[in-house]
Amino acid sequence: MNQHTLLLVACLLAAPLRAAELQLMSAPVRIATPQESAGLVSRLSTLDHRQGLGADYSFRISSQHPGVTGQKITRAQHTYKGLRVLGSESVVVTNPAGEIVGVSIADRRPGLAPSAVTPGGAPTPDTPAAPATPADTAPAIGTDEAIRIAVRAIAPRGTHRWPPSAELLIYPVMKTVRAPSAAGKSEEQLNATDLQEVVDRYALAYLVQLRMAQDGKVIYFDVVVDARTGAIIQQWPALQTVIGSGNSQYNGVVPINTTLSGAGYQMLDASRGAGGKFGAMAITNANHSSPNNPDPGGIYTNAGNTWGDGQQYNGGSTSNANGQTAAVNALWGLMNTYDTNKNVLGWQSLDGNNTATYIAAHVGTGYDNAFYDDSCRCMYIGDGDFFLSLGSIDVIGHEMSHGVTAATADLIYAGESGGLNESNSDIGGEMVEAYARNGGSGGAIPAAGNDWMMGKEISRSGEPLRWMYKPHKDGSSPDAWSVNLKNLDVHYSSGPNNRMFYFLSQGSSADPASDYHSPFLVRTPAAMTGIGSDKAYRIWFKALTTKFTSSTNYADARDKVLQAAQELYGTASKEAIAVQRAYAAINVGADIDEQGGGGGGGGGGETERLVNGGFENGVTGWSGTTGVIGNFNGQDAYEGARYAWLGGNGRRATETLTQRVAIPADATSASLRFALHIDTAETGNTVYDRLMVTVRNANGGATTTLATYTNLTPADGYQLRSFDLSAWKGQTVILSFTLREDRSKQTSFVLDKVSLLTR
């Protein structure tokens, strides 16, 4: 598990329905039994085997949590010869019947990962062979030796707060390569989508997790140790930082939920969360317990139900009125964090399953930090020295949001994924601040109330830790993506995504002198239009919890946030357009015009070239067997109401849908995407029925088969497919979907959301 801290000192030094009506997150889900998990693994493995993969490949269930209403998210790690492949996983969406309705995949498995792939998984032109598959999975050193090597490198004089662990796994050593379309660009011209992370080689390694303390500091690190040579391959920090009446330090008199206990009261909120260490949400008194190995202490108690004096802690008693103020700050922040996500999104507590957490106040003496520790799923707050007490509303929202990340995407805390991890916490902190400042009630994030500056209230100088709208104001965080982003501390590499979220919510300025201007917005209007914090947060949260994998980087995040926007508001909605513009504003993807999302070929943004790809306008744009288009009993649409149902006849049949499409010569990319659901009554391992996806030049020439799907590759729900059509730039092509069914037993190929996007 990852642990989380705000790293405060280093930061200073260094047309559809409204989303609230459309989709909420599900209530807590029942965790699958071992038998149910084994059944899901078996179904996933069967699909792998039908694609020619053997028994070396399997899956391991790592977590389960709610998805949108009626769905469950299961995170299935990929394994090879029984060993986990780090950063390779499937995010599986299932409906109440347990049927698979969607999968988001990061595939880095040996023997399958080519050295360069498109975002949808199709090999790029002239792709070299995949890196060599590990021939031997027997380690030369044991787990104890791997732990000793990691300890010597990280904290040789340290003590263990939590027992260390060492997991033997397959570690894909990654490298960055340019997409063919970016071969001639200078480094300064590169966009995030011009680069691809690919597997360079595979190493048999131990992932050593150290949760230690040394010299008065908590030191949490994940270390990858070569299992044959003992060399350290990679390492990264894993400590990720940032109705009674309470007199809070930053918010005046605030209502706090406490529990009557005997003749007094406890800071135990039984209305929010269940289980956990204290059975409900709680605030405890660490009473200067050492940050080396902090003891949370007992729950705060008081004879009356009025708490705190609203003043900065003066160094005296931690349990009198002055000492209680830090606890008031913490409880109010914890309550509002819970309420923001539950009332707005339907998400309960940190894990979505309503598991209670707690915050321990008064850690250390003059301790200038606050951190979330996923080993206990709790937070520790220091009193501050250079800072004021570290319990401001945005800091608590930040730390608690690390708990949401840990329970869902579990973004690796290094490189670009680590920056996104930190950015999610800054986003969460700001949304909690906006919700709390406007009364802490209602089903939407208010339009105002937060300051878009992280940690301003805890700063004695008045300078915040981070400016979300202009990250570079701190002197270290970049405003936009660059090739060096992955080499920065994650508290700085979060900057561009923070700025993206600000633009998505609030819009930008056309004035080049403004802090709210982006030079990467080159389409019209020059100042992009924001969609408000409520919609922006819904889109972001859905992408994080139902689509992101642990290795998601900026380019992948852009694609998945866009998918979330399209699913919530529509493919060509203003919200989807705003996502594309907001990411373009930080040099991730190309800019587009707001009206219609248009633009030319190479110089513009993404442009849809297909007509009626969702089939909502009936047969418009399509030729061939157009009777397969409609809304029929027995099948559901991927989105909207209509789809194309090819096959399903149970007799000999040939059905074809075609569309003529022009791909501009000056396009920098062309991507075909579609959603496909396959079900069959066929049995055995013989191909009887097939769907072929082909493309050919409209003026003649050979037909190229992009893919063939058969009765051997069914799936419980729609699967998203993607293909690179850049080779057909400057041509008018005929795209075809052709079904051939044999004389008995039906196979259905249900097609929806067909799209051909160019940049």
Distance CA 613, CA 659 (A): 10
Proportion of the chain above pLDDT 90, given as a percent: 68
In a domain, 116, yes or no: no
One domain, residues 395 and 511: no
List the CATH number of the domain containing 752. Answer: 2.60.120.200
Among the candidates 537, 563, 598, a domain finishes at 598
Q: Provide the number of structural domains found in the chain.
A: 5
Q: In this predicted model, what pLDDT tens digit does every residue of 483-492 receive, in sequence order?
A: 999 999 999 9
In a domain, 466, yes or no: yes
Tell me if 133 sits within 8 A of 127, measured CB to CB.
no
pLDDT greater than 80 at residue 597: no
In a domain, 548, yes or no: yes
Residue 391's domain comprises 244-407
One domain, residues 493 and 560: yes
* Alpha-helical segments (H) within 509-655: 533-546, 554-569, 574-584
List the CATH number of the domain containing 361. Answer: 3.10.170.10
Distance CA 5, CA 286 (A): 17
Tell me if 698 sits within 8 A of 734, measured CB to CB.
yes
For residue 751, list its beta bridge partners. 644, 676
Mean pLDDT of 272-293: 93
- Secondary structure of 60-97 in the HEC alphabet? EEEEEEECECCCEEEEEEEEECCEEEEEEEEEEEECCC
One domain, residues 231 and 254: no
**Which among 684, 696, 681 is positioned nearest to 647, based on CA atoms?**
681
Q: What is the pLDDT of residue 241?
A: 55
**Which among 524, 564, 259, 530 is positioned nearest to 409, based on CA atoms?**
564
List the CATH number of the domain containing 543. Answer: 1.10.390.10
Q: Which residues of 400-421 are buried (b: 16+ CB within 10 A; e: fewer)?
A: bbbbbbbbbbbbbbbbbbbbbb
**Which among 600, 576, 587 is positioned nearest to 523, based on CA atoms?**
600
pLDDT greater than 50 at residue 599: no
Q: Which residues contact 146 (CB under 8 A, 6 or more apart)?
A: 166, 206, 208, 225, 227, 230
Pairing of strands 281-285, 358-363: parallel
In a domain, 678, yes or no: yes
**Which among 593, 583, 415 is positioned nearest to 501, based on CA atoms?**
583
Which two tokens mark 548?
Answer: 């992101």
Q: What is the pLDDT of residue 585?
A: 98
Q: What is the pLDDT of residue 131?
A: 84
Distance CA 315, CA 177 (A): 54
In a domain, 647, yes or no: yes
Among the candidates 204, 237, 270, a domain finishes at 237
Mean pLDDT of 250-255: 90
One domain, residues 205 and 258: no
**Which among 222, 244, 359 is positioned nearest to 304, based on CA atoms?**
244
Q: In this predicted model, what pLDDT tens digit does every residue of 102-135 receive, in sequence order?
A: 788 888 999 875 443 333 333 344 445 668 888 8
In a domain, 118, yes or no: no
Mean pLDDT of 260-287: 93
Distance CA 353, CA 72 (A): 11
Q: Which residues of 555-588 are buried (b: 16+ CB within 10 A; e: fewer)?
A: bbbbbbbbbbbbbbbbbebbbbbbbbbbbbbbbb
**Which among 440, 429, 439 is positioned nearest to 390, based on CA atoms?**
429
Tell me if 533 sits within 8 A of 501, measured CB to CB.
no
Distance CA 165, CA 150 (A): 11
In a domain, 562, yes or no: yes
Q: What is the pLDDT of residue 745?
A: 93
Q: In this predicted model, what pLDDT tens digit does every residue of 448-461 receive, in sequence order?
A: 999 999 999 999 99
What does the chain come to in residues?
A: 759
One domain, residues 632 and 673: yes
Ordered DSSP codes for 605-643: --EE-SSSTT-TTTTTT-EESGGGEE--TT---SSSS-E
Element (H, E) at 20: helix 19-22
3-state secondary structure of 544: helix
pLDDT greater than 90 at residue 82: yes
Return phi, psi of residue 68, to 5°.
-70, 165
Return phi, psi of residue 96, to 5°.
-60, -25
Pairing of strands 690-697, 732-741: antiparallel
One domain, residues 231 and 271: no
Calculate the alpha carbon distances from 41 to 36, 47, 93, 605, 749 in Å. 9, 10, 13, 40, 24
- Rg of the chain (C-alpha set): 27
One domain, residues 273 and 231: no
Tell me if 443 sits within 8 A of 18, measured CB to CB.
no
One domain, residues 632 and 722: yes
Tell me if 297 sits within 8 A of 285, measured CB to CB.
yes
Which two tokens mark 624?
Answer: 């061939």
Q: What is the pLDDT of residue 207?
A: 98
Q: In this predicted model, what pLDDT tens digit does every residue of 527-563 receive, in sequence order?
A: 999 999 999 999 999 999 999 999 999 999 999 999 8
Q: In this predicted model, what pLDDT tens digit does every residue of 1-39 receive, in sequence order?
A: 344 444 433 332 223 334 334 578 888 888 888 888 998
One domain, residues 376 and 517: no
3-state secondary structure of 434: helix
Q: What is the pLDDT of residue 702?
A: 80
Q: What is the pLDDT of residue 51?
A: 62
One domain, residues 258 and 218: no
One domain, residues 209 and 338: no
Q: Which residues of 41-62 are buried (b: 16+ CB within 10 A; e: fewer)?
A: bebbbebbeeeeeeeebbbbbe
In a domain, 391, yes or no: yes
Question: When comparing pLDDT for 715 and 600, which is higher?
Answer: 715
Tell me if 362 sits within 8 A of 324, measured CB to CB.
no
Return phi, psi of residue 295, to 5°.
-100, 120
Residue 526: CB atoms within 10 Å: 14
List the CATH number of the domain containing 71. Answer: 3.10.450
One domain, residues 311 and 398: yes
